[in-house]
Amino acid sequence: MLRTRLLRSAIRSVNAYSGAPVGVALEADSAATVAKKFAAACAAQPAWAAAGFEHRKACIAKFQSLLAANKDELANLLSAEMVGVSFTLLQPVFSLFHPTLG
């Protein structure tokens, strides 16, 4: 069970059982920061499209390798948020990104 709390301009994940913080708190976005990020994404999209398939494929492969390199830490964070969900149950999720992550 994932619980997220908005605390004064910060969002933090908590352990559903104990209420203890999990991971780090993130600054909550305002309407203005969402609009700014959306504008930046729109501005970046033409360059992303122009980069070509091979470059985009390489970026996604890099993301896969980062997931693989950090799979234990990610699994522990997800388990802590969901309380009692073991890595074994999370393996199918990681396998969606790459067969060697499971």
Residue-averaged pLDDT of the chain: 77
Domain parsing of the chain, residue ranges: 3-101
CA distance 68 to 73: 10
Q: What is the mean pLDDT of residues 52-66?
A: 94
> Is residue 101 over pLDDT 60?
no
Q: Lowest-pLDDT range, 24-33, 53-62, 79-88? A: 79-88
Q: What is the mean pLDDT of residues 49-59?
A: 95
3-state secondary structure of 6: strand
Query: Where residue 39 falls among pLDDT bands split at 50, 70, 90?
Result: very high
Q: What is the mean pLDDT of residues 88-93?
A: 60
> Is residue 53 over pLDDT 70?
yes
Query: Where residue 38 falls among pLDDT bands split at 50, 70, 90?
Result: very high
- At 92 the pLDDT is 66
3-state secondary structure of 52: coil
**pTM higher than the cut 0.95:** no
